[in-house]
Structure 1
Amino acid sequence: MTTTLGTASADPGEIDTGRLEVGETRDGSSFGLPVAVVNGASPGKTLYMQAVSDGDELNGIGVIQRVVPRLDPAEISGTILIVGIVNYHAFQVAEHRNPIDDTKMNRAYPGNENGTSSERIAAATFDVATRADIILDLHQGSTSRMIDEVRVRCGKRHRLYEDCLELAKAFGCGYVLDQKGPDGQLARAAPDEGIPTIDPELGGTVGWDETSIRKGVEGVFNVLRYYDFLAESHDLERQTRANGFEQYGAPNGGLVDFEKDLGDRVARGETLFEVTTAFGETKATVTADSDGILWRTRRLPQVASGEYVCSVGTDIDSY
C-alpha cells in the first residue's frame, strides 16, 4: 500500500522525500517541513521519528542525515515516517524557541491547528506521529554539556510506562532519565494516545557533536532491530537510570572549575565545583547534596551569582 506524508509518497519497497506544508511566512509564502517516508517491502510496525523541535538542537538532524541513506526499504518490514526539522522558524535563525511566537515547541503538543505558529506545527506533526506504533523525538542538551541519555517522560503511573521504559532500553544510550516531563512535550502527549514515546537527549553544546550523533544513529538502528523493522536481532542491555535530578547554581560570580567529569559518580558532600576569581582565588566551593552522577554542566566557565552551573542525576539504579 502506498504511504504518503505531505508531498512524499512511497510504494512498498520505496523511499521518498518531500515537504509537509504547515503555514505561511510573514511575506505570505507557504513553508513546509522536510519529510521522508520509508515504506518497507514487507508489512510491519510504523516508527515515527522527528528532530529539531528546538531550533538549536542539531544532533537529531545529524542522526537522520546519516540514518536515511543507510535504509534499504527492500530489507525493511513496516514503515518509517520522518520529520527532519520540526521548528522551521527557529532553525532558520539558530535559536531555541520559535521566534514567531516566542514558544518552546516541545511545550506545545498536541497542538492546535487553528492556534499559534508553534501550536499549528505541533498539531501537524502530532497528526503524523499518532499514525505510528512507536515514536522517537530526537533532542540534545541545547547549550549545555550533557551525557548521551534517553528520557522517559510519561511518569511511572502512566499505563504505557513499561512500554516507554522498554523503548528507552532498546535505544540503548546507556543512561536513562526516568522523570515525568512537563505538559506539552511530545513524550508526554503521545503516550496518552497509546503510543510508546521516548526523548533521546543526544549530548549537548552548541552545534554539531559527532560522538553524540554516532550514538544516536546506533540507537535508531537498535530500535529498528528490536522492533523487527530489520531482520537482525538486538538484545536489551542494562541501563543506568536516574530517577531524579538536582540542579546547582553559582553562589558567587566568577569562573567555574569542575572537580568531576560528565558521567562521574559523586557522593554526598563531595566537591562538584569551585568558583574562582580571574586570578584563581577560590570564592566558593559547592558540594553534592546527594549521591548521584554528574549529568549536565554549563558549557562556558563564566557565571554570575545564581546562574545555572550543573545537574546531578540522583536516585540511581540499573534496570
Structure 2
Amino acid sequence: MRDNPITPTVDLDADGVQHGFLRLPYSRNESAWGSIQIPVSVIKNGAGPCALLTGGNHGDEYEGPIALLGLAQTLRAEDVTGTVIIVPFMNHPAFLAGTRVSPVDDVNLNRAFPGAPDGTPTAKIADYFQRTLLPMADIVLDFHSGGKTLNFLPFAASHILDDAEQMARCRAARDAFNAPFSVEMREIDGLGMYDDAAETLGKTFVTTELGGGGTATPETVGIARKGIRNVLIHAGILQGDMDLSPSRILTQPSDDCFHFADTGGLIEFNATLGETVSKHDDIAHIWPAHYTGHPPRTIKAQMDGILTARHHPGLVLPGDCIAVLAIETTTDLTKEDQC
C-alpha cells in the first residue's frame, strides 16, 4: 500500500511537550502547493500507556475541541506517564466551516474509515489515523455532540463488542469518564466509523454525545474537561483521584430506539430530553408547512424509554431522525462501584 502523504511536524516518539501540525498536501485553485494543517499536540514522558484524544471529527461539535485545547495548553510532561496525543480538530476543514462534513470533498470523516492514502483529503486523514495514530494508542477518547441538527442528554458511551474482555475495558473507561449518563450505544450507521476502526484494532474506545445545537455550554464543556482527566487517571497516565458522581446507566436494546420522520414540516415535541415516555405515547407532531386546515403527522414511541436525543431545528425533512430512546438499567454509579 502507498505511504500516506500526511507528515507530522512533531516527533511522535520524543519526550516533552510539542505543538505542531499534521500537514496534508492539498493542491487547489487558491494554493497550487498548499496544505491542510491539522493542529496536534504530543505530551510524552517515558514509557507508559498512550492516549489518543480527538475532537472535531464533525466540524460543528464543540465541547471536545474546547476541552482539548485547554488540555494541550496546560498539560506538562512531568505530570504524564506515557504519551498523550491531542488532535482537537480531526476534520479541520469541516471545523473551520462549522459543518458536519468536509467542504473540501463533501465527505463525512466518521464514515470514511479505513480511508485511503490516495483518496480524497478526508480519506487521507482517515488513513493516517487508521495506519499511524490508532496503532500507537492504548486508549482512544473521541468527543462528539449533536452538532447543528441534534440535541443529546450529555453521555459517554461504549459499544457492545464480540470480545468480552475488550468490551469490559471500554465500559470501564466509559464509566471512568463519568458523564451524567453512561450509555451502551447502538449505531444505526456504523459502516466506516472511527469507532469501529479503533475497536477492530482492539483499542479501549470511549465516545461521547455532550449536548448539541451547534454550540457548547459551560455545563457540557465542564463534563468534557472532567471526563478527560478521569480517563487519563483511569489509564494510568495521570496521577490523582478521579472526580466521580452518580451516573445513570442507559442501554439501547434495539432499533426501536430510533424514530424517523416520514414526512417533512414543522416539528412540535411533546416530550423533553430526559423525560420518560411509554410505548405509543405521542413524542412529536409534524405540522404541514405548506397549507393550513390539516392535522399534523403524529410520531409515537415505539417502546418505553427515556428521550436521550431529539432533532434540534424546528423544521424536519422526510428521513430525519427526530428522537432516540434508551432504557435505564441502573441509577447508582458511584466511586465505590468503580474501584
Please show how residues 158-307 of structure 1 align to structure 2 within 5 Å: 158=163, 160-173=166-179, 174-179=181-186, 182-234=190-242, 239-244=248-253, 246-250=257-261, 254-276=265-287, 283-304=296-317, 306=318
Please show how residues 1-319 of structure 1 align to structure 2 within 5 Å: 6-9=8-11, 12=15, 14-26=16-28, 27=31, 28-40=33-45, 43-126=47-130, 127-143=132-148, 144-153=150-159, 155-158=160-163, 160-173=166-179, 174-179=181-186, 182-234=190-242, 239-244=248-253, 246-250=257-261, 254-276=265-287, 283-304=296-317, 306=318, 308=320, 310-318=322-330
Which consecutive unaligned segments of at least 5 residues does structure 2 have?
1-6, 334-339
- Call closer, same or farther: CA 1:46–1:93 in 2, change over 3 Å: same
Q: Distance in 2 between matches of 1:189 and 1:96?
A: 19
Q: Greater CA deviation, 142-151 or 270-279?
A: 270-279
Q: Distance in 2 between matches of 1:260 and 1:235?
A: 32
Shift of 1:254: 4.4
Identity, % of aligned positions: 25
Q: Distance in 1 between matches of 2:14 and 2:25?
A: 27
Q: Distance in 1 between matches of 2:136 and 2:264?
A: 50
Greater strand share, 1 or 2?
Answer: 1
| CA offsets 1:98-139 (integer angstroms, 9 cap, x no match) | 233321101122222222221111111231122011001111
Q: Distance in 1 between matches of 2:20 and 2:156?
A: 29
Shift of 1:238: 5.2
Q: Distance in 2 between matches of 1:108 and 1:116?
A: 10
Shift of 1:252: 5.7
Shift of 1:11: 5.2
Over the aligned positions, Cα root-mean-square deviation in angstroms equals 2.7
Q: TM-score normalized by structure 2?
A: 0.82
Q: Distance in 1 between matches of 2:217 and 2:98?
A: 15
Tell me the matched-pair count.
311
| CA offsets 1:212-233 (integer angstroms, 9 cap, x no match) | 2221111111101222222213
Q: Greater CA deviation, 245-254 or 283-292?
A: 245-254
Partner of 1:167: helix, strand, or coil?
helix
Partner of 2:145: helix, strand, or coil?
coil
Q: Distance in 2 between matches of 1:188 and 1:175?
A: 19
| CA offsets 1:159-217 (integer angstroms, 9 cap, x no match) | 52222122211111123142256122121111222211122122211133332222111
